[in-house]
Chain A
Amino acid sequence: MEFTLITLLNGVSYGLLLFMLSSGLTLIFSMMGVLNFAHASFYMLGAYFAYMLSTQFGFWTAFFVAPLLVGVLGAAVERYGLRSVHQYGHIPELLFTFGLSYVIVEVVQLIWGRAGVPYAIPASLSGSLFTLYTTTFPVYRAFMMLVALLMLLSIYLLLTKTRIGLVIQAALTHPEAVEALGHNVPRVFMLVFGGGCALAGLAGVVGGNAFVTEPGMAATLGSIIFVVVVVGGMGSLSGAFVASLLIGILQTFAVALDYSIASLLANFGLMIKAGSPFFSLFNLTIAQIAPVMPYLLLVLILIFRPRGLLGVREG
């Protein structure tokens, strides 16, 4: 029971972090059709900016300022980079963000070095929130969950209750019509791109000290957020939310399952020992393939439901 509850909590909190990252990516994709390969790099920048700011002004300043900085940077990238590439079509855009991700990693290494930086959890948020049986649940994990939920709520309100949100939603499906009505669609694009990057930056601010802030952090999360976006449905925010939680919980629970084909066959009296043919294959446990699960899910979704769980486009 203790194990189940704790693992569920871990899965949900990890899933919520994934959501923070992928929400920006899916917004950008649905608006502009740009698969932003540099998205995880903005996550990394968020963590590094927060590290730098927190050493000077404390964590809370960093918490609010770092995502803004990342957002401004993202908007600048859209305005002066992507927009000029845009006319050449999607492939150059893709290559642009792909190249950008490498540039960002190298710049980060030049400024902060190749090793990780000691970006620590602030004292006010360290310690444990409650004890479940004998396992403590860290305050910081709860804080991460809270931030993600607040973020979800504010994006939802922004998109559905405000004027700019309505313009964004309209531009999603009918950009020409929106432009004809006199809205500045390129500026909306810039805002969305900057906003999406700021969300990634925010994820970096809270994720950077929960895990490790290092130059490799973008690469490790980079691929999994694409899985979230595809599984959830390209451009669907609620889909991204469901997919994030699903992947978070799936991955954490899979770790606990020590079942393999060998143990399954053992139930039927078929013993597979170290000398048997294909032993290494039969002996592979679900726990061992847990990290591969999201990618397996990606492949299966693309085969059986290409538009994703809650996707509306490309039916």
Chain B
Amino acid sequence: MKFPLRASFVAVAVTCMTPAAFADTIRIAYIDPLSGTFAPVGQNILNSFQYVAEKANAEKWAGNNTIEVVGFDNKGSPQESLNVLKTVIDKGFRYITQGNGSGAGLALMDAVNKYNERNPGKEILYLNHAAVDPDMTNSKCSFWHFRFDSNSDMKMEALTTYMAADKNIKKVYIIGQNYSFGHQVTRAAKDYLARKRPDIQIVGDDLHPIGQIKDFSPYIAKIKASGADTVITGNWGSDLALLIKAAKDADLKANFYTYYGSTTGVPTAMGAAGIDHVKYVGYWNVNNETFSGKDIVEGFKAKYKDDYYSMATYSIITALSQATKQAKSIDPVKVAFALEGLNFKSLNGEVSMRKLDHQLQQPLYIATWVKTNGKDVKFDQENTGLGWKTNQKIDAFVAAQPSSCQMKRPG
């Protein structure tokens, strides 16, 4: 008897304290690794979220509503993510965001679907900032999930379009981490290259365990023996840094086409070894055509002594602010309907949230790792004096993919 009494007392107290509904706090639970091998990446993105939210609150992006992002450690594991989800639901969060690892993402998606079905009126919305498994907006798509990063197929589409124009590419080697995302990269790379440049030969295809290899020299010896001139990899964090370092040591001259060359730790580890050899495809980099987002990069660096690279944090806060204004409510169901088909301006230009599958349609950039020159490469990363030079901005329609999503909407 004691517990419900106390709960109702708290509920009454809370209702009394809230001065009507026009100045609410939109609370987002950030569920990502904040300890372990991938903690540096998780912490950086949490800081990015909080930095952008602060800016949004100061500039009243969401009108009188304020946005708050709170970090929860899922240790990178799907199982732990589900425990954290229960905790944040108990704490009254209605919005969650996650991104590091599609394994945890898929688990959360499934749990959110079930929870929302069983608890009408208490729905949770999952804003995905970086989990890029294409399934999440195809066969497993859900009304309660919105993805603000481009999925791995879209990135591969952009990357292969860029590669197709380079006649020097003859032999390609694919190496990736052995989990769902690594498998998707391998599959997409083979399919798209076969379509765009059937003359390119795939000379090797390796999957290694995630986060365990410290010495990549045997893999490099293998790549070298295969005669590859280009390497495609979806590796991130230290898996990418060590791969590139080992390539430099063995004097491997191949070019690296990466997804995550800009994530925490990679710039420091590759240093000068990566100059001209490492490229990356992503939704934004600060050395873009108009240096859009440079005030955020500068402010973030002054505050955290770190680099702002996870631009999806900006897209999410912007889209959420606009959707709550449009819906005149912070209720997740109304906000979700407002998010569908929403057009808004992010740091990479005009973007839109496709209603069909909840996949953000946005331009992609291809960039190369070079020395900063004060002109088109003004900003470096991790104080290395090296930064990303934009080679090409690829329009959203080029990377757009069809979707097999059969969305079930509430009501």
Contact = CB atoms under 8 A, between A and B. Distances in A.
- Note whether A and B form a binding pair: yes
Interface of A: 2-3, 6-7, 10-11, 14, 113-116, 118, 120, 128, 131, 134-136, 138, 140-141, 211-212, 214-217, 219-221, 251-253, 255-256, 287-288, 290-292
B225 interface: yes
Contacts of A211: 214-215, 242, 245
A6 to B, nearest CB: 5
A291 B225 contact: no
Contact of B225 (A3, A138, A288): A3
Contacts of A114: 39-40, 43
Contact of A251 (B36, B218, B221, B251): B218
Contacts of B403: none
B180 interface: no
B140 interface: no
Contact of A141 (B218, B249, B251): B249
Interface string B212-236: 1111011101101100000000000
A3 B215 contact: no
Interface residues of B, number: 36
B221 A256 contact: yes
Contacts of B214: 211-212, 217, 220-221
B43 A3 contact: no
A288 B382 CA distance: 33
Contacts of A255: 206, 218-219, 222
Nearest to B183: A280
B253 to A, nearest CB: 9
Contact of A115 (B40, B211, B215): B40
Interface string B20-64: 000000000000000011011001100000000000000000000
Contacts of B245: 211-212
Nearest to A292: B209
Contacts of A141: 249
B271 A135 contact: no
Nearest to A253: B218
A51 to B, nearest CB: 12
Top 8 closest pairs, chain A to chain B, by CB: A115-B40, A136-B251, A255-B218, A252-B218, A216-B37, A3-B225, A10-B217, A138-B249
Nearest to B225: A3
A292 B206 CA distance: 15
B364 interface: no
Interface in B340-367: none
A3 B221 contact: yes
A108 to B, nearest CB: 12
Contacts of B251: 128, 131, 134-136
A287 B249 contact: no
Nearest to B41: A115
Given A115-B264, A136-B251, A287-B206, A252 B224 contact: no
Contact of B238 (A113, A120, A134, A216): A216
Contact of A116 (B207, B211, B212, B269): B269
A311 to B, nearest CB: 27
Contacts of A253: 218
A288 B207 contact: yes
B404 interface: no
Contacts of A214: 37, 40, 238, 265
Contacts of A287: 206, 222
B241 A212 contact: yes
A291 B249 contact: no
Nearest to B382: A118
A11 B219 CA distance: 12
B100 to A, nearest CB: 14
B268 interface: yes
A188 B213 CA distance: 37
A288 B178 contact: yes
Nearest to A11: B218
Contacts of A7: 218, 221
Contacts of B265: 115-116, 212, 214
A290 B216 CA distance: 12
A10 B207 contact: no
A96 B250 CA distance: 42
A11 B265 CA distance: 26
Given A6-B250, A212-B242, A220-B212, 10 more contacts: A3-B222, A114-B43, A116-B268, A116-B269, A134-B251, A255-B206, A256-B222, A288-B178, A291-B212, A291-B213
A219 B76 CA distance: 15
A114 B32 CA distance: 15
A11 B382 CA distance: 32
Contacts of A135: 221, 224, 250-251
B208 interface: yes
A136 B37 contact: no
Contacts of B209: 291-292
B241 A2 contact: no
11 contacts: A3-B224, A6-B221, A6-B224, A114-B43, A135-B251, A136-B249, A136-B251, A217-B214, A220-B214, A253-B218, A288-B178
Contacts of A252: 215, 217-218, 221
Contacts of B219: 255
Contacts of B222: 3, 255-256, 287
Contacts of A216: 36-37, 211, 238
Nearest to B384: A118
Contact of B218 (A140, A219, A256): A256
A14 B178 CA distance: 23
Nearest to B214: A211
A114 to B, nearest CB: 5
Interface string B106-140: 00000000000000000000000000000000000
